[in-house]
Structure formats: structure tokens, C-alpha cells
């Protein structure tokens, strides 16, 4: 699923790379065609507390105010600490 998200970001004109923050990997850091920074974390499902904590905490460690997204296949959304949890299929069809 990470490859699909990566290719879609490239298709949308983003410059994309992986990032790290305090011993944690961020799946993708992207700069939009308008120059805005966005962070993306990808997980298949948020099925356990360990997965929820791991995926959200990676983005929570970033202290700037740029948009942060957690893309999953879950049909319910669990926004947390300003991080938007989006359904990856809806995100793919959104633009």
C-alpha cells in the first residue's frame, strides 16, 4: 500500500522522501506543487492498541504545524492530536 501512496503523491506532483524523527520513521514527507509540506504515515488497519500508538506517535513527535495524515483501510476515522486519519481508498479517489 505504501507503494501505491508513493506513486499517487508523485502523480499529484509532490516531491517525496522518507523521513525520520527521534528514532522513528515517517513513511513519507511530501512537498506539494505549491510548496507546502505534508507528512504521511501508512498502515493497513488500526486493529490493536499497539498499532494505533506506533502509527500516531511517529507523527506526534513532529513538532511543526504542517498537515499530518495517517492513511488506513479502516472505514472509521480516529483523528488524534491534529493528525487526520483518512481512508486510503477515499484519499486516492479524492484528487
Looking at residue 20, its pLDDT comes to 74
The CATH number linked to 35 is 3.40.1350.70
Measured in whole angstroms, how far is the alpha carbon of residue 54 from the centre of its chain?
13
How many structural domains comprise the chain?
Answer: 1
Mean pLDDT of the chain: 93
Q: What nine digits make up the cell of 51?
A: 498499532
Q: What nine digits make up the cell of 61?
A: 513527535
Residues 38 and 69: beta-carbon distance below 8 Å: yes
| Stated pTM of the model | 0.91
Answer yes or no: is pLDDT of 59 > 90.
Answer: yes
Query: H or E stretch including 89?
Result: helix 88-94
Q: For residue 63, what is the DSSP state? A: -
Query: H or E stretch including 23?
Result: none
Share of the chain above pLDDT 70, in %: 97
Residues 33 and 13: beta-carbon distance below 8 Å: yes
Tens digit of pLDDT for each residue in 62-87? 889 999 999 999 998 889 999 999 99
Looking at residue 77, its pLDDT comes to 86
Tens digit of pLDDT for each residue in 39-50? 999 999 999 999
Q: For residue 83, what is the DSSP state? A: B
In angstroms, the CA 21 to CA 61 distance is 7
Domain around 35: 2-94
Amino acid at each position: 500500500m505504501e507503494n501505491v501512496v508513493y506513486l499517487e503523491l508523485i502523480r499529484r506532483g509532490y516531491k517525496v522522501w522518507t523521513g525520520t524523527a527521534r528514532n522513528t520513521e515517517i513513511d513519507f514527507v511530501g512537498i506539494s506543487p505549491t510548496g507546502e509540506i505534508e507528512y504521511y504515515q501508512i498502515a493497513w488497519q488500526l486493529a490493536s492498541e499497539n498499532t494505533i500508538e506506533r502509527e500516531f506517535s511517529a507523527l506526534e513527535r513532529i513538532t511543526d504545524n504542517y498537515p499530518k495524515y495517517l492513511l488506513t483501510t479502516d472505514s472509521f476515522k480516529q483523528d488524534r492530536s491534529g493528525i487526520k486519519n483518512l481512508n486510503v481508498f477515499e484519499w486516492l479517489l479524492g484528487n
